Amino acid sequence: FPVTITGGGLCNVSIGSSSSILGGACNTASGYRSTSVGGSNNCATCSFSTLVGGQQNISSGCHSFLGGGQSNIASGSWSGVVGGLSNCATSVFSSVVGGCGNIASGYGSFVGGGITNIATAPCGFIGGGRGNTASGGYGSVVVGGISNNATSFGSIVVGGIGNSSTGAWSFLGGGEGNN
């Protein structure tokens, strides 16, 4: 039995079957059992997507979660974004926690903050920093630093500036301009 609930706020639209909006302004819950709580101009558009607070956020992946911030997108199924500005979690099980302009687009990838970091590798991990990339091979890791790249299976860069770990299962501890 589809029940749609809108509780308080201003100009909210709850049109998904069994969807709900609790407060806020100009929020939309259009997915089946989607939820939007507070904030403004937010959209929860896929089945079981949840959006809590913030502004101009989109939780469009099924079972996705978006918690606050501004202009963030959680579009992968079971993806999540928590806070920050202009962050995107676009693949299944991907997540971004804070920062600005970060992208987690690999299956199960994670970016833990910082600025303009990109994790495209399946199960890629970036802890933070600026302009880091975990790409290519499964499980590539950049812990932090600036403009570091981990581009092969299991490759790791701990920190530093402009370092690249390009061989399978390779490790680079830090420094500057190392390969």
pTM of the complete model beyond 0.85? yes
Q: Confidence band (pLDDT; 50, 70, 90) for 1?
A: low
pLDDT in tens, 118-137: 999 999 999 999 999 999 88
* DSSP class per residue in 42-58: -EE-STT-EEESSBS-E
pLDDT in tens, 41-78: 999 999 999 999 999 999 999 999 999 999 999 999 99
d(CA 33, CA 132): 36
Amino acid 137: pLDDT: 86
d(CA 108, CA 95): 8
